[in-house]
A and B are shown apart, each in its own frame.
Chain A
């Protein structure tokens, strides 16, 4: 791989990191010295810049996939690319697109600082708590599963009571899970394309390394569970599968697949892992599309099925749909970015950018199949 591309990629990521600081929240007292208000006063410019950044990210991503297909990208090159991505983005401002990391930290503080049960006591009940001014879900009891809240004790304690250190220790903590999940994708698939598809996917990278969402932690534990099942060790697999459900309850959807694999192992029958990952992707995809029943489709929910879809890159429809969704889901942020409201036309634009391209892709595959049937009759 040419070094020029590496330099451009690194410069691009550093610029993206700088851009993320345009979104510093005015209520974030700990960063008042670097607050510019740029993202809130220049909404159109910021939206255009964001589109350019996301589009460029996908151009790089496409190029890396192309290099992978041409066998010009080795495992060592991917290691370099992943390292550059981490080194550049780990210091980005995490609440550029979502405030979830503040919710993680505040929930953690309720348990580890105030020694109260976050499933009973809401952060808002701590009058005078400085985190309340920028925590968006302060009026809710813990939204996260117990193992996740327990794990957050590690970055919280490492933060030593300093908010900025805590914030970045949470980001580094999430980054570690991104690294081990990438390794796991390689261990499971032994396919360099799968590793490129997963580790350099802009949605996974942005939602994990910038926004610091915990979905990657859940995916790590569920993939680890399947990896152990591949080694026919049922006991540990069950433990890690339960742990993944206790990070975020979504992997409950995989129970049928999980028990089917255990049944096959106990009966000493052949297992088609490609089919297992394919159906896992479909089940997680169902969970993704059912998420509006609870709240709405959030872009980072795509990580649930992307991780499985990329393990079976030969499934063309699934792969194409996943890639198109990766791009369009990141565009869901634009209406709020440019209009500054979650109401009015914003939800309509969000639905259009999410569902129109994916419908066109599915229509294309259906029409293609129909045409082939007619042509070869």
Chain B
């Protein structure tokens, strides 16, 4: 009897450890396909287009849309680059995504101050934050804590990737 209990407990622990999957917060917000990656001429042209289009997206709602679009784009870019172990480029993309995401709520506050109803935009931002967190948590499990970047002819640098991902998650959590 004692043995049977022990076998059952062992099976349960085995099933839990080897068959369970890590689950993340789920959001129905859809991220874009990966964009052009750094290193090509078309990427530079794309950066130029991004800088020009910043002025096309004038207005509070326009700037909100622009920054959220950029935050999505660079998050997907960071994720793709991390998967290919291009940590330095991925780190830069993640920082860009953070910068753009941090700006979104400021534009909503400005719109609200001008008596524009921002309820729908706030919902979109919350959904986006949840989706971003979902992606970042997944990245967190697949990324080394620290990565030593050794470029040619220049001193090496330590990239504290885990810390940066956690900081990115916190920026998103501020909008939940």
Which candidate, A95-103, A113-121, A150-158, A280-288, is the interface stretch facing chain B? A113-121
Q: Is residue B60 contacting chain A, with contact meaning CB distance below 8 A?
A: yes
Interface mask (A210-225 → B, CB under 8 Å = 1, otherwise 0): 0000000000000000
Given contacts A120-B65, A121-B65, contact A127 B59 (CB under 8 A): no
| Chain B positions within 8 Å of A292 at CB level | none
Q: Is residue B61 contacting chain A, with contact meaning CB distance below 8 A?
A: yes
Which one of B60, B117, B120 lies within 8 Å of A116 (CB-CB)?
B60
Q: Is residue B160 contacting chain A, with contact meaning CB distance below 8 A?
A: no
**A120 with B117: CB separation less than 8 A:** no
| Chain B positions within 8 Å of A115 at CB level | 58-59
Secondary structure of the A contact surface, majority rule: loop
A121, B57: Cα distance in complex, Å: 9
B residues at A contact (CB < 8 Å): 56-62, 65, 116-117, 119-121
Q: What would 13 more interface pairs be, CB under 8 Å, given A116-B58, A117-B56, A127-B117?
A: A114-B59, A114-B61, A116-B59, A116-B60, A117-B57, A117-B58, A117-B59, A119-B56, A120-B59, A120-B65, A127-B119, A127-B120, A128-B117
Interface residues of A in 224-278 (CB under 8 A from B): none
Q: Is residue A371 contacting chain B, with contact meaning CB distance below 8 A?
A: no
| Chain A positions within 8 Å of B117 at CB level | 126-128
What are the 4 tightest A-B residue pairs by CB atom distance, in nearest-first order? A116-B59, A127-B117, A128-B117, A121-B61
> B20 to chain A: closest CB distance in Å?
42
Most buried by A among B56, B59, B117, B120: B59
A218, B117: Cα distance in complex, Å: 35
Q: Is residue A125 contacting chain B, with contact meaning CB distance below 8 A?
A: yes
Closest chain B residue to A129 by CB distance?
B117
| Chain B positions within 8 Å of A119 at CB level | 56
Interface residues of A in 118-148 (CB under 8 A from B): 119-121, 125-128
| Chain B positions within 8 Å of A127 at CB level | 117, 119-120
A119, B120: Cα distance in complex, Å: 19
A325, B116: Cα distance in complex, Å: 46
A128, B62: Cα distance in complex, Å: 18
> B127 to chain A: closest CB distance in Å?
15
